[in-house]
Amino acid sequence: MRLPLPARLALALAVPAALLAGGAVQGLAATGAGGGAPAAVGNPLQHRWAGPADPASGRVPDAASYRDPALCGDALVLAAPAPGERAVCVHLDVAPPGVDVREPVSTRELQARVGAGPRAVAAANALGVPTATQVGAGSTVTCDGDGAAGYRVQAVYAVEAGRTNRYAALLPSMRTWAAGVDDVVSRSAALTGGTRAFRWVHAPASSGCEASVLNVTVPAGSTASFGGLMTALRAQGLDDPTRKYLVWTDASVLCGVATMYDDERAGQDNPNNGYAAQYARVDTACWGQDGGHSVEAHELVHTIGGVQDGAPNSTLAGHCNDEADTMCYPDGGSRSVMRQVCEPASEYLLDCRSDDYFSTAPVAGSYLDTHWNAADSRWLLGGGDGSGGGSEGVPTRLGARLTVNGPAVPGLPTQAGVALQLPEGRTATVTWGVADAGCRLGSATGEQTTVTCPAATTATTSVTAVVRDSAGSTVTVAAPLAFAASPRRQVDVVPLVGGSSTAYEGCTGAAVPVGGRVVDRATGAPVLGLTVEALRATTGAPVLAASVLTGTEGTATRDLALSGTSTWTARTRAAGPYDAATGAGRVAVTTGTCTAALTLEADRATAWYGAPLVLSGRLTRTVDGAETGVGGQSVGIWAQSGSAAAKLLVSGRTAADGTYRIATRATVTGTLTARLAGSAGYRPASSEPVPVTAQLPTSVLTASADRLSVRYRQPVALRGTLTRDAAGTTAPLAGATVLVQVTKAGTTTPLTVATGRTAADGSYAVTALPTYGGALQVRYAGTAATPAATQALGTLAVADYGTVLAAAADTTSVRHRQPVVVSGTLQRDDGGTLGPLAGATVAVQVVRTGTTSPLTLGSARVAADGSWSATVAPTAGGALRASYAGAGGQPAAVRPLGELQVAPYGSALTAAAGRSAAAYGQPVPVSGTLLRTDGAVAAPLGGATVLVQVLRPGTTVPVTLATARTASTGSFAVQVPARYSGALQAHYAGTAGQLGDTQPLGQLTVS
């Protein structure tokens, strides 16, 4: 049996019946197709789960299922359940963690299972819906009429022929589990203020309204697949379209599976609401589970249409992805990544945010308000037509629906309104907006407003309303505003000068608003966005003086400086549906020099210095005996204190009615006067003087230092507060600069050693690193509004550290430039506590005999542990010492190391001449060696210069005849020209640290 299907859904599948009987159906709970034929039955099955089939959890591939995204999205298609019916989509529910559906479950264990009732009641209590514990402990379902008529859930116990029938033993448990399903539904409905319960086939009320459970035996093999079971049940007449069949299947194949049509149309003709019989199957491993969500409730909710693929949080395979929720879990759909957005207790109830598939009070304009809502099912008390003990519920979330009257006429106002859906006890505010920046709102707030767009507007725009309720929730709704291609419209335009449409007497050169006002002739309403042209005529034809767009009041004016006598008219340009128009009226204008009167008032006569001071007044002139405001004029406020000349304090401009309001601050004690400077249009004017007094508050500075005796650059922590005291009213002076100062002994000028800035509460904390002592104070320099303040803290003593220099030389007697290693330590002494002076420089010096100035031989940098070492090569002896020059707060130190002896090396020169007599100019060969001697040790002295000289008779100064440079072996050889007779010698003059030597070579006779 089946009910008629709407035409667009009435497509049946001609599929061999054998396909319905074989294999277990792959996939999770059914998500039915919206219409159209499926792909060929022979299509290969492509399962969306990651990994292979898992029989233990109920994931078993089924050749009778196939994929067709056009029918079932990410779910699997099950061929037509019965001839002539449309296909449905199926997807297996996996077993809870730790449950193997293949394992038989004993009768005793099943009888111990209490079902979903207690968990649903506890969850409702946790989520703020008080529920008595006994509600979840019964075995009766909600009574409804005679228990048989109408749309109802028929509970079934099914077992294959040849297997043990446990119906009698488990009937009380199945009735308790059915009642638990009702608890899940009723507590879920209560979350949105409504009442819902499944309509069960049940015993009469006089018998307690316990669910009717049919005892059905099906042929052997029928429970091996979902399709096979449905075929067997239909064969026994269980195919009533007014029934949803919840089948407790005494088998160990699946966990749970159900049929559902993938059709999200709102309304009672949804195919999930009575098109054909629908089935929910639960196998023994998952009966009455109370450790997680109710499998029975899960599968039955599928049969009433949850969850559709179009739901905001759909997995696209029949479930939701916004945990925790009875219908949410990762089912392999393309959007099955879970998000934990609701409290864990929601796992035992339906639709944790009431926005995907079940709500008794859907938010206005939301998905469930405009699409299929399982809470509207005929199978629920309160669903369908709302009868049978149900209620519409109450809003639990803020909602709104916006309407705009349209199409609109551009340039004229159209109505917009928002209907609010408020949870009980809340209030809301509405803020309006319009996408087209040229459009104007009649009111920016409130539930009703008008929208007016410029006359030339043609493009559709969007009107938005942002609704905020007193609980902090926000909803934004929008609606399009279109414009009709309306017939041509006429307007009337009236010229305006200074607000008059007939005559105006003005002041020469004064700015006057000139333009016109435009109204729609058919409605009398002002027109927005039309161009008004103001024309001026003196002696000839009118000329264009200004072109201005009208505002929402239909008025368009521009300030123009007028002089002389003129006549003004106005016209409009065509725009949008509006024809051009020329006004019939004229405004006669005359100008001259005017006398004006000026007033001044201060909002207070006495104020604290820097406090806000509001000055106001009015500039007027008398026209035809009436006082008229003068707009657009500059008014200066002049201040005078004592005998000092008055000075301009601030200025402002008068409004169209002649008033002005100037915000300034109190900075003067004396009088204030408003002045209008003379001009071609106005004679000078002044107000009466207004006395004012600017009082100075007292600056209160507190300060303390954590200590007044420190070593050089040791930190001193200073703390305090800076406040402003105005006649007993104190306030922190935030962001002010405070100075930490020291006045050295014998001086009068304090020196700043640190600065700080006050926090929002007026407190400050400054750390100073002083390098000298004296009188310590904290000072605030003050401003024009707050006087200076100083807080003395006593005398600050700053002492130098001690310096401890230790040194030793490895020798004090060396040859010229022989190395001397000097090493030691340099430490800082802080009252007996020593510490390394890392990074300091120690010099190794010698004070030569007969001098007082030290000669630095070398230096070393002090290591992290205070040690240092320097190697020097002295060239002269004297008093050896180590020296530290000192630094700020660290005195210099010298460590004597004794007398340093530096001896030169000796020289040994040997030489011989090749002849003792020679003719003039004849070469005489001379050769030899030069050695460096260090005691008994001799070594060649290479690279030295040896002179060959002759001492002529009767003289004392030898004459150098030739020079030679010693080789690396110390040897030398040279040819000496014979020029003079006398004593011949070889001579080495020596160098620094190297003694000289002379070797006689005998007499040389030159002929």
Map residue 984 onto helix, strand or coil. Answer: strand
Burial letters for 471-502: b for 16+ Cβ neighbours within 10 Å, e otherwise? eeeebebebebebeeeeebebbbbbbbbeebe
The kind and range of the H/E element at 167 are: helix 167-190
Q: By the 8 A CB rule, do 179 and 209 touch?
A: no
Largest CA distance in the chain: 170
pLDDT value at residue 128? 79
- Domain 802-903 part of CATH 3.60.15.10: no
Q: Which two tokens stand for residue 920?
A: 């003039």
Q: By the 8 A CB rule, do 410 and 458 touch?
A: yes
Q: By the 8 A CB rule, do 508 and 678 touch?
A: no
Q: Distance of CA 243 to CAs 1, 46, 77, 79, Å?
A: 11, 32, 22, 20
Angle value at C-alpha 531, between 526 and 537, nearest 5 degrees:
110
Top-tier CATH class for 399-481 = mainly beta
The CATH number of 906-1006 is 2.60.40.10
Q: Which two tokens stand for residue 104?
A: 């038989």
Q: Which two tokens stand for residue 758?
A: 């006050």
Q: By the 8 A CB rule, do 532 and 572 touch?
A: yes
What does the pLDDT look like over 765-787, one tens digit per residue?
999 999 999 999 999 999 988 99
With CA atoms as reference, report the closest residue to 45 among 1, 92, 94, 103.
92
Question: How many Cβ atoms sit within 10 Å of the Cβ of residue 903?
Answer: 15
Ramachandran sector of residue 241 (left: φ over 0; alpha: ψ -120 to 50; beta: rest): alpha
Pairing of strands 612-623, 597-598: antiparallel
Map residue 286 onto helix, strand or coil. Answer: helix
Q: By the 8 A CB rule, do 521 and 534 touch?
A: no
CATH topology match: 596-695 vs 802-903: yes
What is the rounded CA–CA span in Å between residue 262 and residue 32? 4
Q: Which fold has domain 596-695?
A: Immunoglobulin-like (2.60.40)
What is the rounded CA–CA span in Å between residue 70 and residue 804? 93
pLDDT value at residue 77? 63
pLDDT value at residue 342? 87
Q: Which two tokens stand for residue 299?
A: 């599968």
Q: Could you tell me the residue ranges of all domains in the chain?
A: 65-381, 399-481, 491-592, 596-695, 802-903, 906-1006
With CA atoms as reference, report the closest residue to 888 among 801, 778, 823.
801
CA Rg, the chain, in Å?
55
Q: Distance of CA 513 to CAs 46, 624, 656, Å?
A: 78, 20, 9
- pTM for this structure? 0.47
What does the pLDDT look like over 362-404, one tens digit per residue?
887 889 999 999 999 999 988 875 455 555 666 777 878 888 9
Q: Tally DSSP H helices, then E strands, for the chain.
A: 8, 66
pLDDT value at residue 1001? 95
Q: By the 8 A CB rule, do 915 and 827 touch?
A: no
Question: How many Cβ atoms sit within 10 Å of the Cβ of residue 692?
Answer: 21
pLDDT value at residue 34? 33
pLDDT value at residue 19? 26
Half-sphere exposure (CA, 13 Å, Cβ side) for 588? 1
Q: By the 8 A CB rule, do 299 and 280 touch?
A: yes
pLDDT value at residue 363? 82
pLDDT value at residue 40? 28
What is the rounded CA–CA span in Å between residue 558 and residue 567? 16
Which amino acid is residue 519, in one-letter code?
A: V
The values of phi and psi at residue 243, to 5°, are: -125, 140
Burial, 818: exposed, middle or buried (Cβ in 10 Å; 0-12, 13-18, 19+)? middle
Pick the CATH number of 491-592 from 2.60.40.10, 3.40.50.1010, 2.40.50.100, 2.40.110.10: 2.60.40.10
User: For residue 324, how far is the Cα from the chain centroid?
Assistant: 28
pLDDT value at residue 180? 92
With CA atoms as reference, report the closest residue to 144 among 378, 302, 328.
378
Q: By the 8 A CB rule, do 480 and 404 touch?
A: yes
Residues of the chain with pLDDT under 50: 1-52, 386
What is the rounded CA–CA span in Å between residue 500 and residue 654? 19
pLDDT value at residue 883? 97
User: For residue 875, how far is the Cα from the chain centroid?
Assistant: 72
Q: Which residue is associated with the tokens 């809870």?
A: 96
